[in-house]
Amino acid sequence: MTRQSPAPVYLNLLRIRFPVGAVTSIAHRISGVLLFVSLPFLIYLLDISLQGPEGYADAVAILGNCWLRLGTAAIAWSLFHHLLSGIRFLLIDIETGVTLKQARTSAWLVNLTGLVLTLAYIWWIL
């Protein structure tokens, strides 16, 4: 007879080290949710900015708030990361970069490139 090991009593998710591919996959899902949640706000800004010069000035004034600039940085990160990791997953679907070394390298590349593009965006809006 084989003995079954008992299920863990306490599982601390903060102490688990996820592989870089798992982090990229989880961040892809989080960025998709962020994009979906921010869509009504972005559509609202587009709507008021297209109403004329006064509407455009109102949209610029709304985006002049420091906290909203940080919010747009989060939206920019979600856009960059979701786009890059989506391309990575599409390449994996057509069996390009499926070896362990290539998958790890592409995951690191997606994470770092998304971060660099977000930092460039933050530098641009400041």
Per-residue confidence in pLDDT tens, the chain, 126 aa? 577 777 767 777 788 889 999 999 999 999 999 999 999 999 999 999 999 999 999 999 999 998 999 999 999 999 999 999 999 999 999 999 999 999 999 999 999 999 999 999 999 987
User: Does the residue 16 lie in any domain?
Assistant: no
Burial of 42-75, coded b for 16+ CB within 10 Å and e otherwise, reads eeebeeebeeeeeeeeebeeeeeeeeeeeebbeb
User: Does the residue 68 lie in any domain?
Assistant: yes
Q: Which domain holds residue 115?
A: 21-125
User: Does the residue 14 lie in any domain?
Assistant: no
Q: Which of 91, 123, 122 is nearest to 24 (CA)?
A: 91
User: Does the residue 92 lie in any domain?
Assistant: yes
Q: Residue 95 in 3-state DSSP?
A: coil
User: Does the residue 82 lie in any domain?
Assistant: yes
User: Does the residue 70 lie in any domain?
Assistant: yes
User: Does the residue 76 lie in any domain?
Assistant: yes
**How many structural domains does the chain have?**
1
For the domain that residue 29 is a member of, what is the CATH number?
Answer: 1.20.1300.10
**Predicted local confidence at residue 126, as pLDDT:** 77
User: Does the residue 28 lie in any domain?
Assistant: yes
Q: Which of 81, 71, 73, 72 is nearest to 32 (CA)?
A: 81
CA dihedral over 111, 113, 114, 120, signed as positive or negative: positive
- Beta-carbon neighbour count of residue 31 at 10 Å? 23
Q: Which amino acid is at 73?
A: A
